[in-house]
Structure 1
């Protein structure tokens, strides 16, 4: 009986355990079913899409970059075809490094080529071809073709490369392209990221950068079916790329070359603007550089030569150089006086050769003074005393508010990157620019030197040219711009670029007074010897701005001063006077007198633009001699607008931090770089 009970109990426990086991199995199957349902039904679309993406890959096709031409259709930037050696990693048999070493026995592969390949390999997909060598010679192509059977996955491709056929001419305008860096990629918008897939090059400087979107075009693609190992099997679809637009610049490259040759080996900048349209006709920054050096990555030696040069050829002077305008500021001061009712054309002063403010003496450029000086004579003979008195009567804020309308100390908005604002001083500016109450205070003596374009005044050549264009056109002009027209590279349809109009309300009779006085500069004033027989009527104004401060009553003798500390030479001009088609502003760094260094360059530019006259090839670029140790103003035949050297007195000119310079009559540039932005 006991055995029967034990058997029943064992059978009961067996059935119980079996039921539990069956339950667990059913639960497991249920969990699996739920999971399968989740993956196969609920998440079906997502995983189907991922599977399709693994099977299909999009291979970008980079568009041809648009061309850049001058206003007359002369090529400034073009594309040319060259052979490249490329590797598709997914097709390589064996180790990649071994294949590269074997290739190096056939074609030249430098260490920089290997580094570039490694970087591109890490960033690309295995089925995409990666460049290992660019611009193969015909001999290298022939050598590889013979050995091609040994290198599956290695092939020669014909690619387009960028070239700047004019070399260093207009290099700061055109700029250059270079390989895309991580920073370039990070700066792309979400919209641009897709369009730049597969792109290795991007605009780095000049219009190549500022008009990158127009030049780049629209990237095409090939839809490729690939194996699980990443090998391409077949092409499923194809979308052709759209080439970038061609740019017609407003620059006249022949005028540009005339000016660059006129500068010779001197440092400086020139901007020529068409007053009515705002188009930039010439944009010169010297020294220049060859943009072709940067396309494939500049070599270390060339980079060191450019980067360490004391002449700073990489600095875009018209846009980044900020200089005191010197006496080129005087026509604008005179116009402000007329418009604001501070002077009439007939208002005159007696100039003894200096102006006393308190116990401080501000010297005129001419010993003994200019005698009786009205507004016309103040511009023609560049009388400093006239503008010392005028600046004192107007005050810094009145000058600021009027000059701001002409773009001084403001961004012009030209279609180039990294424009510098310059400095147009005011009491408000000084309160925000300095830290201590003593520094923030505006001293009345600081106002005096502003009238002759010195002190805190610091403007770019672009701003000076823009203001001159506005004056030439009676207060009306358009935003300065470098692109004349856009051309569709497929349809060849051209669309002209029209910039926004800008206007300063000026009385025509006041503008006429200033124009006639500036004509007088070229006929009987400081630039008469240069423009006396020009063959056309132009308006101009010379300027000489000082780089370093000098002690009270200390004479400026160039031969005793280091070249980089000598005065800058400036000139502004426009012509023909009745209906100006060109307005010019230029500076020759450390060039001395505006009449002897800057005016001849402006003359050559106007000669070419108005008369089609080119300088004689045998004519040597003018290099001013170092003046002898005599006072130039004693020579009545050399009446020049040199800014006087005045002493520094604490009540007139408090300590100025490095970024601002001093305002003691001679511009003190503490950067040691002649007003240039690094």
Structure 2
């Protein structure tokens, strides 16, 4: 009798394990079925060269960026457009992981739970994948970078739609250089890397917007205090310098002239724990999921007991590293009262015949700033444009912005940054421009931003 009972218990355990395994399989089938079907070894969907043979990639307006013809991928007719959208569309060899041909292969394959990858036109017909980007705006950004390494991003901070995502250098996917040349030639350094999504850079003074947010919330006398800059600030055995002595000023003026001495002192005043907390709250140390593509995490060191390096970290130097997409989302959070819209790249998918199979849903992230803090930051960044950068460069945009010139050492020119947003309700755009080793933030990145935003407003 006991032997029968033991066997019965064993059978029940086996049945339970079977049911558990079946449940796990069903869950994985629903969640990962598309990735399984679009695995490059699936010869129904890929040719012998490993190129996805089905599906079209289009921009938000229906401009075809890539499609299959005669068993291979072809791209837009405009060479500059092909280069501008390289890191959004991808290359045939699949070396660019953020490209839609690789990152969204499951959506392009046309896979669904009912019919798999089969459609009325047969296996491998694929789907139409509409990206949120505006191809013409990406081309304008590519041309504005004018051969320099960098990244440009523009997104709608109300809906999260990325309208422009450009990373350079970028080769022509229709006629790519040999892989050996891309990997060895200086002009192609980092060509496979999407600098907007997958890289981090020293931010320089654009990070002062984070230090300022911390000071607004933790320094009660911030707006009644007068600050004095003699061109240098000694702290912890180090000297924080400004290009010139700014004299006596308010905190608003300190942001407008981007005074290193004032913001270095504020970072030491609020302390390392608060600085770390605000960098985290701004989303700069975490990874964003952009339609399933993970952005690179930024990193910071706010040393306790080392006020000199803490001051440098507070002005965007020391060990500070920031991802451009994450910083753009932070700009969007300031624009909309402290809560960011999550950046997204996929607008919709349809069948090969044009029947919609998905819809765009807005997503919002966790609160980054108190609403009152965001409003004060917005007003002060608006003053930056009016009193420093110049309204004529950004006509009719109601622009709020901050520039950054980030020293990187090694005898290299600084990284040039320009980031901000428009308060025009009909053009709710947040943006970031980073020109690697470009020089002055306002002069270089600000000029790129002006060209891109003028194109965006015309659109």
Assess same fold via TM > 0.5.
yes
Q: Give 2:91's match in structure 1, choosing from 162, 176, 196.
A: 176
Deviations 1:231-273 (CA, angstroms, capped at 9, x unpaired): xxxxxxx994263221111101111000100111111111112
1:346 positional shift: 3.1
Find the residue that maps to 2:192 and give its secondary structure.
coil
Q: Does 1:364 find its partner at 2:242?
A: yes
2:207 aligns to what?
A: 329
Find the residue that maps to 1:65 and give its secondary structure.
coil
Distance (Å, rounded) in 1 between the aligned partners of 2:43 and 2:237? 75
Distance (Å, rounded) in 2 between the aligned partners of 1:533 and 1:216? 42
Q: CA contact under 8 A between 2:219 and 2:270: conserved in structure 1?
A: no
Q: CA contact under 8 A between 1:519 and 1:537: conserved in structure 2?
A: yes
Q: Give 1:504's match in structure 2, choosing from 367, 392, 407.
A: 367
Distance (Å, rounded) in 2 between the aligned partners of 1:577 and 1:376? 22
Q: Does 1:406 find its partner at 2:282?
A: yes
Q: Give 2:74's match in structure 1, choosing from 143, 163, 178.
A: 163
Change (3 A) 1:271 1:343: farther
Change (3 A) 1:497 1:177: farther
Q: CA contact under 8 A between 1:574 and 1:580: conserved in structure 2?
A: no
1:475 positional shift: 1.3
Change (3 A) 1:486 1:348: farther
1:80 aligns to what?
A: 69
Distance (Å, rounded) in 1 between the aligned partners of 2:342 and 2:286? 12
Q: CA contact under 8 A between 1:250 and 1:281: conserved in structure 2?
A: yes
1:426 positional shift: 4.7
Deviations 1:286-306 (CA, angstroms, capped at 9, x unpaired): 111122346xxxxxx622322
1:343 positional shift: 4.9
In the TM superposition, what are the counterparts of 1:587-626 in structure 2 within 5 Å? 587-612=434-459
Change (3 A) 1:178 1:361: closer
Q: Give 2:165's match in structure 1, choosing from 283, 293, 299.
A: 283
In the TM superposition, what are the counterparts of 1:201-240 in structure 2 within 5 Å? 205-218=98-111, 240=122
Change (3 A) 1:60 1:424: closer
Distance (Å, rounded) in 2 between the aligned partners of 1:270 and 1:203? 17
Distance (Å, rounded) in 2 between the aligned partners of 1:207 and 1:409? 25
Q: CA contact under 8 A between 1:273 and 1:582: conserved in structure 2?
A: yes
Distance (Å, rounded) in 2 between the aligned partners of 1:498 and 1:333? 33
1:455 positional shift: 0.7
Distance (Å, rounded) in 1 between the aligned partners of 2:97 and 2:393? 44
The worse-fitting range, judged by mean Cα deviation, of 341-350 and 451-460 is 341-350
Q: Between Structure 1 and Structure 2, whose CA radius of gyration is higher?
A: 1
Q: Does 1:542 find its partner at 2:403?
A: yes
Distance (Å, rounded) in 2 between the aligned partners of 1:586 and 1:69? 24
Change (3 A) 1:542 1:505: closer
Change (3 A) 1:171 1:242: closer
Q: Give 2:415's match in structure 1, choosing from 559, 568, 586.
A: 568
1:341 positional shift: 4.3
Q: Give 1:586's match in structure 2, choosing from 426, 433, 437.
A: 433
Distance (Å, rounded) in 1 between the aligned partners of 2:361 and 2:173? 28
Q: Does 1:383 find its partner at 2:259?
A: yes
Distance (Å, rounded) in 1 between the aligned partners of 2:343 and 2:180? 34
Provide the aligned C-alpha RMSD in A.
2.7
Q: Give 1:522's match in structure 2, choosing from 379, 385, 404.
A: 385
2:306 aligns to what?
A: 443
Change (3 A) 1:492 1:451: same
Deviations 1:189-212 (CA, angstroms, capped at 9, x unpaired): xxxxxxxxxxxxx99651211111
Aligned residue-pair number: 401
Q: CA contact under 8 A between 1:327 and 1:545: conserved in structure 2?
A: yes
Change (3 A) 1:251 1:343: farther
In the TM superposition, what are the counterparts of 1:76-225 in structure 2 within 5 Å? 76-81=65-70, 160-165=71-76, 166-178=81-93, 205-218=98-111
Structure 2: state its 5+ residue gaps.
Answer: 1-41, 47-52
Q: Does 1:492 find its partner at 2:403?
A: no
Distance (Å, rounded) in 1 between the aligned partners of 2:147 and 2:124? 43
Distance (Å, rounded) in 1 between the aligned partners of 2:186 and 2:130? 34
Distance (Å, rounded) in 2 between the aligned partners of 1:377 and 1:322? 29
1:354 aligns to what?
A: 232
Length-normalised TM-score, structure 1 = 0.55
Change (3 A) 1:203 1:450: closer
Q: Give 1:69's match in structure 2, choosing from 48, 58, 61.
A: 58
Q: CA contact under 8 A between 1:473 and 1:580: conserved in structure 2?
A: no
Find the residue that maps to 1:365 and give its secondary structure.
coil
